[in-house]
Structure 1
Amino acid sequence: MPRPSLAADDFFVIGIDFGTTYSGVAWCWSGQPENVELITRWKSKLSSFTSDNAKTPTTIYYDPVSTDKSWGYDVPIDVEPLSWFKLLLIDNDRLPLEFQKSGQIRRARELLKATGKTLVQVIADYLRLLWQHTIEELIRDRGDAAVNGSPFKVWITVPAIWNSKAQSKMLEAARMAGILDKRTAGKTEVEFVAEPEAAALAVLNDFKGRPDIKPGDVFVVCDAGGGTVDLISYEILSVDPLMVRECVEGKGKMCGAIFVDEAFTSLVKNALGGKWERMAIKSQKTMLHNEWENGIKKLYSDGNREWTVTVPPEAFDSKLPKLHRFDDKKSEVPLKAGQLVFQRGHIRGIFDVVLPQIRSLIRDQVTAVTEEKKGITPKAILLVGGLGACNYLYQELRIEYRATSKTQAKAVDVLQPSGARPWTAICRGAVIRGLSATPVGSEKGSLVVARVSRLSYGIVFMSGWDDSLYEQQDKYWCTQEMAWKADNQMHWYLERGSDMHHKDPVSFRYYQLYSRPLSNGLFQIDVLKDDSASPPRRKTDSVTAEAHITVHLETPFEELPEYTNSVGEKFRQVRYTITMLSCGTSMQWKVFVNGKVVGSENVVVAQSDD
């Protein structure tokens, strides 16, 4: 059956999941919005490493001799590539202490420095290679004419706990990578979506058509990825089309799969001692990939069994090969060549590096939903992400959320989708999110109609003094008006925990006095943010700048209203209104003078810096 031709107004939506350990790409043609496709063919130096080909490693290698760049599965097996560099977007002092001490983070910084490039340049290099491969695969699937003749709408996923600074760096990297380059088909649009929201859209979209899903049901989505674990909860508003709203504030923490990966690697290194160093990098990688990544990590359950790891022969003394068996007393028992045998406690200890933190995040989210819904528990907890496919995590949560008289009044289902679906949920969900922003997708796809703000946003102002309202430390003598004022007061346009889909704009009126004309008729207004549970009435140290609005005053200075103070000094008064309209993922700030817009700024809604 021939494929339909592209209409003149068709487009491609492309979702990019730039992950800590693996990255993935999904896409959809607007003519068939129900068909979300995955990029699954990757260039590779070793075919056995592409068994999980729904994603490719987030690694890049700069050849010191040829200066060539290789990435993903195509990195030579016998070299050490730059990995984990996504985590370097977070300022070191904002990383958890265990991350700051991580050998992998330290090594990532060393390898980054050795490249002679900035972090943004390295991310741009990786994204450029990923993007070029994506276009090649689109052309292979749809043809040159269809791809080159259609606009792109690109949605890149970011962790929910990232701040706007990290998002700005990602946008800069995307621009440097060529994603925003001019095309004959028109402008390429790039937007960001939080990873847990994308994951939730994907898994909830898979639920469409199930008879047991009804309006009012709440689902807690646990996106357990490589670096972060994010929780987000949605209430079903409509089943057909699927419409959901975020019902409580989501939470996240850096307690992802890289911690268990590093713990297993350390366990093997300690077990082998000097034998580890005898192994070539290729052998080390192959062993960890086969024995851990595609073996124990996915299959482990807390049963009383041993786990055997096959070690390359080169690690052992050729004259006296041994099997190292480790029981709870760490004793060594010579058995046979080429294997390590770990007991239940060793492997359980690896997962317990992060499992208590993940369970705590889920527990807090379930409690918040129960309080919000007045005693109604979530219908299910959905596990997605690479670590979300872990058997041990599933089993532990199943035990915790079964109905018992002591711990859980009503059972909460724990659902773990099979196959590659949980691992690819984020990039698939990014496409669904992109489609929902178009008339095509909003009619047929899944849609988040309400989100909860993780931060408060506002404007600082000065007010007339009132002893009963303001703190003495803010009392300020204004020499322009010759009156006492309260400085550092806050107007909060959007408060943390509130619904971000306001139908009506929020507005406040202000004025400023000037004794002489403004330089080029310009002045600046700061948009401030705060991550406190209840934002302060006054500007404190927790209130920081998020964005700046540049105002271009078109009215000639001499035509501005005149103000004369009590001692006869004359000033010109600029009266203006600042309006904020929230559309869920961003806020549109506008400054009006006499009903005319003289300044505006679109501010991406950032997440908490916690």
Structure 2
Amino acid sequence: MGRRNVPTTSKKGVIVIGIDFGTTFSGAAWATAEHLKQDRIQVITDWPGGGECAKTPTELFYNDNGKDIDWGYEIPAGKEPVRWFKLLLLRDQDIDKNERVILALRQARSIMQRDSKTAVDLVADYLRLLWEHTVSHIKKEHRESVVESMPFHVVITVPAIWKDYARDAMRKAATKAGILEDRVAGPTTLSFAPEPEAAALSTLCETDRNIKPHEVFVVCDAGGGTVDLISYQIDSVNPVIMHESAEGTGGLCGGIFIDEAYKDMFQHRLGDACSLSEKGINQMMKDWEREIKSDFGRGRANKRYFARLPFEDATKKFYMWDDTSEEPYIIQCSIQFKSDDIKQAFDQTVRDIGALVDEQVTKVKARGLSVAGIILVGGLGGSMYLHTYLKDRYKQENIDILRSTGNGPRTSICRGAVIKGFLDGGEGSARHDPTSGMNNAPVRVKSTISRANIGVKYREIFDEARHDPRDKIFDETEGVYRATDQMQWYLKRGEEVFAEDPIRHAFYRLYNNSFDGSFQDELYQCEDLEAPMRWSPNMTKLCNFSCKLNIPRSELEIVRNAKTLEEMKKVNFELELKPSGASSDFGVLINGQRQGGNSFSLQYQ
């Protein structure tokens, strides 16, 4: 499957590594500029203990000492691993109250309490093992001395519905995992990409898509935990340039809920008297993942699916045991499920996904556009049953349901993360120009849409026609009346922001001679459809940002206090924001100079 164009990039000496850290499975890919030019993004498929697989389970098992860790396919049969710990980076109010989620996270939290670990620690432990394996894989492709001489840029994908605090927690976990440790080649840089955007980058530029200018595609990233949807309208085809055409949506309704429904189903059939061991349950879930879940929807409607009872449990409890007293029958140590039985495990989750897709299609239509196709990506995106369900749902609207074959849906996100890394040129790092990788790239996102209002409290000149009298104060420093607690919104919900022209707003602060060269401010956000003019306690404090001047105090503008005539220093600065899913990328410029990581920092609430 070829691409429409080959990119040229200024990042010739860099290895870009894309990490798809998923709720249930994770993957990684990497490329040099030469790999990218030849359309040869390297996807890691040789995972420890797993043979040739596109992804490895996002699972950890801590041995008795709490230090020796097994992960992924290496976890011994019969051991109960820590699962779904990615969700622990979210605040309770942002986690679905589904009973299955609560039970799974309770087990993860018990491990945290036992070993005095935080959610960031669990994620860091997993990322460290995945990172070490990834780097080892790269060194098999290139001589170690060559790899050590090339800087790394890492792109970790995150759900588009994740807010800034969760992305910040992921950054801390990546740092703790050693991903950003100094190397001989120089600092490793890190950026993030929304999962559906990464998937769009890797799929929409494939030549067999046959896309046309002005068409709109909904990308549905159906993963293990979250389902994210983003819509893009095509501006040009060669190269593919697109812009976000509607505010994205998403929810916690991924494949884990199908898995848990199936587990409940076979455990209910066996009953308490014939309950399986933990090892047996794990084996049945592995068989489900490999043989039934991935195959469901491909065969005839009356097809039967055989769930073999694990050998160890079968020999102890079910040897030559048949039970045809009720359906599904148990014959020769296998539960014989009908298609309708398996359908019950899928149905609620698939209906939830259908509702999210409906919402996204409605948002596109509200902008006077029509959807040409829905592209399925992610682990669950490869499901033929989900594909058929959506195809039937949108048949009357002539909306095509598209997906790649083979491992395409499962690897689209980590492959897209690599493309994103080259496009952004190491976004978020003072070492790189954010537009350095864009020239002649085969695909890029021209603009995105903000999902929230983001701004700061400030005081502006009082205007009786606009301001509330309660906000009126006298500013003795400048000798004017001001309105306090006003909101300056950098981004407004639904606003289109261009990648090459992010939102900037200019402010200034006045300081006396005791000014030490650093200043702080607070950012607020709200999701109101209309951004309010005044601050209110209902707004969420997003983060504090602090900045230390990297220019001499002597170069600052001098002003005088209107009352005391005291000499003061005026700091002119611009805050820059660019939406990225439900999060935003931030930057500060002073006197037109971008502040690097050593002088600018964010502390999320």
Please report the TM-score for the alignment, with normalisation by the length of structure 2: 0.86
- 2:371 equivalent in structure 1: 378
> 1:137 deviation in Å?
1.1
CA gap 1:106/1:358 in 2 versus in 1, 3 angstroms = same
How do 1:497-576 residues align onto structure 2 when only pairs under 5 Å count? 497-501=494-498, 503=501, 506-512=504-510, 517-518=513-514, 520-540=516-536, 541-550=538-547, 552=549, 555=553, 560-565=558-563, 574-576=569-571
2-side partners of 1:472 and 1:325: how far apart? 78
1:261-300 alignment runs, 5 A limit: 261-275=259-273, 277=275, 279-300=276-297
Aligned to 2:26: 23
Give the 3 Å change call, closer, same or farther, for CA 66–362 of structure 1 in structure 2. closer
The CA distance in 1 between the partners of 2:15 and 2:440, in whole Å, is: 17
* CA displacement at 1:412 relative to structure 2: 0.5
1:397 equivalenced with 2:390 (yes/no): yes
Identify the match of residue 46 of structure 2 among 33, 41, 46. 41
Q: Residues 190, 578 of structure 1: CA spacing in aligned structure 2 closer, same or farther, 3 A cutoff?
A: same
Deviation, 1:216, is 1.3
1:367 aligned partner, one-letter code: T
Per the alignment, residue 414 of structure 1 pairs with: 401
Q: Report the CA distance shift for 1:467/1:128 in structure 2 as closer, same or farther (over 3 A).
A: same
Identity %: 32
User: Structure 1 298/535 Cα, relative in aligned 2: closer, same or farther at 3 Å?
Assistant: farther
* Residue 154 of structure 2 corresponds to residue 157 of structure 1: no
Aligned match of 1:117: 117
Change (3 A) 1:22 1:509: closer
Looking at both structures, which has the greater relative contact order when contacts are Cα pairs under 8 Å and sequence separation is at least 6? 2
Residues in 2 aligned to 1:101 and 1:127: alpha-carbon distance in whole angstroms: 22
- SS, match of residue 429 in structure 1: helix
- Mapped to 1, the partners of 2:145 and 2:283 lie a distance apart of 41
Q: Cα offset for 1:539?
A: 1.3
Residue equivalent to 2:82: 82
Could you tell me how far apart the structure 2 residues matched to 1:597 and 1:32 are?
Answer: 32
Q: 2:101 and 2:150 mapped to 1: Cα distance? A: 47
**What is the rounded CA distance, in whole Å, between the counterparts of 2:355 and 2:402 in structure 1?**
18
RMSD: 3.3
Q: In structure 2, the residue corresponding to 1:489 is in which secondary structure?
A: strand
Deviation at 1:354, TM superposition (A): 1.7
Q: In the TM superposition, what whole-angstrom CA distance separates every residue of 1:238-283 from its partner, at most 9, and x where no partner exists?
A: 2222222112111111111111111111222222122554x33332
**In 1, Cα distance between equivalents of 2:347 and 2:11:** 54
Query: Computing the radius of gyration over CA atoms, which structure comes out larger, 1 or 2?
Result: 1
Matches of residues 219-230 of structure 1 in structure 2 within 5 Å?
219-230=217-228
CA distance in 1, matches of 2:557, 2:115: 58
- For structure 2, the 5+ residue unaligned runs are 1-9, 426-435
**Which stretch has the larger CA shift, 8-17 or 305-314?**
305-314
Task: Kindly state the Cα deviation for residue 115 of structure 1 after the two structures are TM-superposed.
Answer: 2.9
SS at the partner of 1:246? Answer: strand
**Contact between 2:12 and 2:32, CA under 8 Å: does it hold in 1?**
no
The Cα offsets for residues 12-71 of structure 1, whole Å up to 9 and x where unpaired, read as 111001111111011112123121111111111xxxx546x0111111112115842111
Distance across 2 between alignment mates of 1:283 and 1:119: 28
How big is the shift at 1:427? 0.3
Shift in Å at residue 380 of structure 1? 0.7
Specify the SS of the correspondent of 1:250: strand
1:75-102 per-position Cα deviation (integer Å, ceiling 9, x unaligned): 1112111111111000123212216863
Q: Which secondary structure does the structure 2 equivalent of 1:537 belong to?
A: coil
What TM-score, normalized by structure 1, do the two folds share?
A: 0.85
Query: Conserved in 2, the CA contact under 8 Å of 1:164 and 1:604?
Result: no
Matched, 1:495 2:492: yes
How many residues are treated as equivalent by the alignment?
573
User: Are residues 187 and 326 of structure 1, via their aligned partners in 2, closer, same or farther at CA, if it must alter by over 3 Å?
Assistant: farther
Q: Indicate yes or no: 2:410 matched with 1:423.
A: yes
CA distance in 1, matches of 2:317, 2:557: 91
Structure 1: stretches of 5+ with no match in the other structure: 1-6
C-alpha separation between the residues in 2 aligned to 1:397 and 1:8? 40
